[in-house]
């Protein structure tokens, strides 16, 4: 069975400090990983996906299959990064639909 683990419920960092939000997964197939973000009073939205290898808002995430991890990193935290972050694992269901399994989320608080 697939599982996504985000070990930190809350992460507080000072503005300008590096940020690392941890995500580990278990999945027997070839994993597709995502990070979704929810800012205060906004809807949940995609931040980045591993196959595109892009940097969004200064965040990057590298898929490490050996460690089954997909940690989200940013070198210098900004106050506007304060939000709830969810790691998600994508897979195809038996019906052919593409589903996401989400972690429990990490709330990032950037201290001014």
Site residues for other proteins, 32-91, by CB under 8 A, read 32, 34, 43-46, 49, 51, 86, 90
Segment contacting other proteins by CB under 8 A, of 22-30, 56-64, 69-77, 97-105? 97-105
Q: Which one-letter DSSP state was computed for residue 35? A: E
**Closest distance between other proteins and the C-beta of residue 17, in Å?**
25
Nearest to 46 by CA among 28, 30, 34: 34
Specify burial of residue 57 (Cβ count, 10 A radius: 0-12, 13-18, 19+).
exposed
Q: Residue numbers of the site for other proteins (CB under 8 A)?
A: 6, 9, 32, 34, 43-46, 49, 51, 86, 90, 92-105
């Amino acid at each position: 069975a697939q599982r996504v683990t985000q070990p930190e419920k809350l992460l507080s960092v000072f503005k300008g400090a590096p940020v690392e939000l941890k995500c580990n997964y278990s999945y027997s197939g070839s994993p597709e990983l995502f990070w979704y973000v929810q800012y205060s009073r906004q809807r949940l939205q995609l931040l980045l996906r591993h196959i595109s290898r892009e940097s969004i808002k200064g965040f990057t995430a590298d898929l490490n299959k050996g460690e089954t991890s997909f940690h989200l990193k940013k070198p210098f935290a900004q106050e506007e990064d304060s939000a709830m972050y969810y790691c998600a694992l994508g897979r195809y269901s038996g019906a052919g639909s593409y589903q996401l399994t989400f972690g429990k989320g990490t709330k990032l608080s950037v201290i001014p």
